[in-house]
Structure formats: structure tokens, C-alpha cells
Structure 1
Amino acid sequence: MRSLWQGTIACGLVALPADLFAATEEHGPGLHLVHSLDGGRIRHRRVCELDDREIGPEEIARGWEAPDGRTVVLQDEDLEALPLPTKRTIDVAGFVDEADVDPLLYARPYWVGARGPGAQKPYALMTEALARSGRVAVCKVALRSRERLAVLRPRNGILVLHTLRWPEEIRDPGDLSSPAPTTNRELALAELLMDEMAGVDITGLHDDYTQALNSLVDTLAAGRTAAPPLEPQPPVDLMAALEESVRDARRARNEGHDA
């Protein structure tokens, strides 16, 4: 893995030299944008709207538009001189229980690696202390030209930095709750259904989109028409649907045990 960030995690007087590595990668089906009439690939080109010509990467900088409409051009060396402590230091502001962090805030995870022999002991100590306490360390870090809120948390003996969205980035959903009343019998059946369906092995679930896409491509290439799948419809009798779902889940669980 290639290090995306190098710096120091600071917690009080304890300094931990560290590297950040991308923890996830996208696995897409490999679709491309094409011209619908002839299948030609659609390419994105960087064109200057003033010169009306394509620009090479060596001519590209970042810009900030001032209130009066002027554009302030920022080169890479300008950004390197940005007086921001979090560019090279992840300063731990404090600790909170992991349950106190709203899951909506979680954005992107990064593996944290100890950099150098002197970082091994504080790395092990921070990882184990967080695991024993059930807490996460709240901090800030500058990544990809933005300062981000983040938490440090342990995972199987490895330290993970998980960037968070700023609270003001969470959109107000308005009132999307349902006014429909529920009965105690319905709630009891719903809880029973959850009990029967408890214990999902997430590692056994896979993305079926690519397989479905390959089947669709084969169908279209053979000159056939693909039929859209039927969408589940809300049940007419909710209680009957719950009861049947409980029976199906119980049957599937028993068959799994017998296997």
C-alpha cells in the first residue's frame, strides 16, 4: 500500500509518527460513458474556458474566487505553506464513547501504520487502550486540501482513522417519519422476525450487480429484450405477511442447522 499521509498523532505529550493508507477500494462493473448512437467512448478533457484549448496537467492549479469576481490562483507550493497544524499533525482533542458518534457522520476509513521503531510502543498502547475503554479519539486531519473531523478507533489490533463529515454537512431530512400507528402484536411479530433472522454473516454477502450486468449484456448482445425484475409490493395484510415471514425465516434457520 502507498502512504497517503505522513505525520504525527499527538495525544497530550505522547507523539506517534504515523502513515495513513486507504482502507477501501471501489470494485465497479467497468461501465464506460459512450455515445448512444454509435458506441464511441466519451472522454473528459480539461479545457480552459478563456483560451478555449485543452490544458496539460503541468498548467493546472487551484483557484479561489473572490467576492469581486477575481480569481486567486494557488500553486502547490502555496498550499504547502498553508499555516495549518493538521497538515502534519493529528491532534487528539479528546475521547468519547463510540456509541456517541452518529453513524451518519462517518465518511472514509484509513489504516494507520506506525512509522519507525520509536512509534511501535505508543501505537500498541493507543490501540489497546482504545479497545479496552470502548472509546474513540476525536481529532482533526488535513487530507486532500480539506481539514476534516475524524476519529481514531481500534480494529483487530490495528488503528483506524475514520474521517467524519462536519455536523453542518448533514442535511435536514424534514419530517419523513410515518404517522401510521403500530400495535403491540405487530411489534411483537416484528421483533420475533428479527430474532429468527439474527446472526447475518456479512462476509458471506456479495455484490450481485456485476453478474446481473453480465447476464444483461449477453441478453442484449444476442438481440433479445431484457425483462425488468418485479418489485416487491407492500402487503395487503401486514399481520399475515409478518407471520409468514417468521415461518419462512424459522424454516430457513432450521435447514441451515440441519446442513
Structure 2
Amino acid sequence: MRAIWTGSIAFGLVNVPVKLYSATESHDVNMHQVHEKDGGRIRNQHRCQECGKVVESDDMVKAYDDGENRVILTKDDFEALPADENDDLEVLQFVPNDQIDPIMLEKSYFLEPTSKTPKSYLLLRQTLEDTDRTAIVTITLRTRTRLATLRVCGKVLMIQTLRWADEIRDVDFKGVDSQAKISKKELDMSAKLVESYSEDFTPEEFNDDYQEELRKLIDAKIDKGESLDLEKAFGDEEEDEEPGGDVIDLMEALQKSVDSSRSSKKGSASSKKGSSTSGAKKSSGKSGAKKSSGKSSSSNSGKKKTG
């Protein structure tokens, strides 16, 4: 495994140095296209429709086309966008575990503690377990800021990127609103059928039969000598980045974060109280004015409250 991101989980004044690793991988047999006649590898070429020349990747830029206008966006244009440049995985809020709809989940990543004394990592893991909470965080991957969940997976912390709310399609299938009547007998029989299949889920029991048979076919062709000598693939580059710094005083950072949160709440409460007092004085002044005009103060006061 190779780390694809190095940074810190940040919530309050607590800082948890971590590295990010892809949690999943494909088990599909890697294949590519070749010329059937001689087995030569087929290479794709990018050819310009205007001039007919082959274009190298360094000369390519992106463009948006709405059917009438084409806007070309250069590398400098993308760099000018307000992408988050820090290495913090910022916690926005903690939510109940059951509030995360699985349809929003995308790719999963493992988080490795990189501190020499990973107490803050273990503390966060235990806190999430004890409170049955999932953290909603933001993380910047490949210049794009993503929304993600931070949760416990066994002994490690895991990140799962989320789709944005407007990326979930609205559906209106006519069949789901059908008024077809379902009898009690049908429900009972359906429940019995479900019960007959009921057991604990053990993913290790299931195999990808297609990929297994494909591998057998490839091995059989190799045994028969129906293979070509190919260049060995290059290995992955090593990750040389150093781990992040340690949290010097975890309790102090936690206490300051809690105090800061309480202070902000008190300030908000005081502001609301002052506003209500000011409003009461204004109301009193208006009531007095209405008395002098000969109107009932109790009637006006009642109107003011119901309003």
C-alpha cells in the first residue's frame, strides 16, 4: 500500500497526524487491446478534428461546450479556483451513524496514525465508538475539495468520500405508487421465504466466478505456449514523506476547544438577550404612545404578542 495523502485531522485545537490509503482495489484481470494478427499493443492517439494532427498530452487543455459556445480552460484557470491548499482534514460536525444514507458513499480510504505517540488517534477512535457518531469532514484530493465521512472501521479510522446532495437523482416511478392489494397470506408466505434465506452476511463466502474462470483460461493458454514475451511493468514509487508532528498536550488542546465552544455559545446567548431587552423597551415606548392616543394598552399589548 502507498499513501496518497498526508496531513492531519483537525477538530477544535486537537490535531491528529495521519496518512491516507485507498481501502479497496479491483481484483479484475488487467487486459489491454492488441492487434490480433501479430499481438502488437494498440496505442491510442489523440487527433485534432480541426488540423488533423496528433496532439500530445502537454498541448491539451479542457473546454466546456454548451452547444453554442465553447469555453477553453487552461491550467492557470484551474489553479486560480478557490481550492483548499492546507493539509488539514477538517471536522465540520459529528452526526448519528444512522443519518448517513449509503447512496451518498463513494470511495473508501484507511487512515494511518503517523505520530510517534498516537494517543490522539486512539482517543478520537474510542470517542466515535462510544458516542455512535460519524464525523463529517472536508478533504482536498487532487486539487478538489470533497465532503466525506470519518468513521471507525475495526481498529482504524476510515474516510469515505460523499456525493453532494444535488448529485442524487430524484425518481418518480409509477409502479411504486400502485394501489395493488397485498393479502395477509401473501405477506406471510413472503416472510417465510425471506426467513428461509436469512443468515449472517459473510462476504468471504462469495467469489467472482467470471474472474476465476478467466484466470484459468489465461493459465491454460500459457501452459500450451500461446503467450508472448512482454516487458515487465514498472513498480510503484516509494513514499518518502515524513510523519507529522506529535500532539504535545492533548488534554490542554481538548480543554481549550471545549472552553472556546462554550464561550461562543454564551456570547450568542448574551446577544440574543440584549436584543430581546431592547425590543421590550421599544414595545413599552410604543404602548405609551398608544395610551395617549386613547387606545387600550391591553388590547395593543395582546396584538403585539400574537404578532
Match of residue 255 from structure 1? none
Structure 1 counterpart of 2:132, which letter? Answer: G
> Where in structure 2 are the equivalents of 1:111-150 lying within 5 Å?
111-117=110-116, 120-150=118-148
Deviation track 1:179-216 (CA, whole Å, cap 9, x = no partner) reads 24322222222223323322232211111112455688
Q: Structure 1 residue 131: deviation in Å?
A: 1.5
1:163 to 161, 166, 191: 161
Aligned-partner Cα distance in 1 for 2:51–2:115: 49
Match of residue 72 from structure 1? 73
Aligned-partner Cα distance in 1 for 2:103–2:91: 21
Q: Structure 1 residue 83: deviation in Å?
A: 4.2
Match of residue 43 from structure 1? 43
**Alpha-carbon spacing, 1:60–1:89, altered in 2? closer, same or farther (3 Å):** farther
Judge conservation of contact 1:151–1:163 (CA < 8 Å) in 2: yes
Secondary structure, aligned partner of 1:117: coil
Can you give the 5+ residue segments of structure 1 that lack an aligned partner in the other structure?
Answer: 219-259
Deviation track 1:94-113 (CA, whole Å, cap 9, x = no partner) reads 11112111110000000111
**Alpha-carbon spacing, 1:64–1:13, altered in 2? closer, same or farther (3 Å):** farther
CA RMSD of aligned residues (A): 3.2
Secondary structure, aligned partner of 1:209: helix
- The answer to whether structure 1 residue 101 and structure 2 residue 100 are counterparts is yes
Aligned-partner Cα distance in 2 for 1:3–1:175: 43
Aligned-partner Cα distance in 1 for 2:218–2:2: 35
Deviation track 1:63-108 (CA, whole Å, cap 9, x = no partner) reads 35499644231159x73x7643365221111111121111100000
Aligned-partner Cα distance in 2 for 1:212–1:182: 43
Judge conservation of contact 1:86–1:140 (CA < 8 Å) in 2: no
Q: Structure 1 residue 49: deviation in Å?
A: 4.7
Structure 2 counterpart of 1:153, which letter? Answer: R
Aligned-partner Cα distance in 2 for 1:48–1:15: 49
Aligned-partner Cα distance in 2 for 1:82–1:205: 45
Judge conservation of contact 1:154–1:160 (CA < 8 Å) in 2: yes
Aligned-partner Cα distance in 1 for 2:102–2:85: 23
> Where in structure 2 are the equivalents of 1:53-68 lying within 5 Å?
53-57=53-57, 59=58, 62-63=61-62, 65=64
Deviation track 1:41-63 (CA, whole Å, cap 9, x = no partner) reads 65323445556444445x15653
Aligned-partner Cα distance in 1 for 2:94–2:61: 35
Match of residue 26 from structure 1? 26
> Where in structure 2 are the equivalents of 1:97-246 lying within 5 Å?
97-117=96-116, 120-175=118-173, 177-178=175-176, 179=178, 180-198=180-198, 199-213=200-214
Secondary structure, aligned partner of 1:85: coil
TM-score by length of 2: 0.59
Aligned-partner Cα distance in 2 for 1:54–1:206: 43
**Alpha-carbon spacing, 1:128–1:41, altered in 2? closer, same or farther (3 Å):** same
Query: Which deviates more from structure 2 when the two are superposed, residues 136-145 or residues 25-34?
Result: 25-34
Which of the two has higher C-alpha Rg?
Answer: 2
Can you give the 5+ residue segments of structure 2 that lack an aligned partner in the other structure?
Answer: 220-307
User: Which of the two has greater helix per residue?
Assistant: 2
Judge conservation of contact 1:7–1:18 (CA < 8 Å) in 2: yes
**Alpha-carbon spacing, 1:18–1:217, altered in 2? closer, same or farther (3 Å):** closer
Deviation track 1:128-184 (CA, whole Å, cap 9, x = no partner) reads 111222211001112233222100000111000000111111112222644243222
Identity %: 32
Judge conservation of contact 1:48–1:55 (CA < 8 Å) in 2: yes
Query: Which deviates more from structure 2 when the two are superposed, residues 192-201 or residues 67-76?
Result: 67-76
Aligned-partner Cα distance in 1 for 2:137–2:52: 44
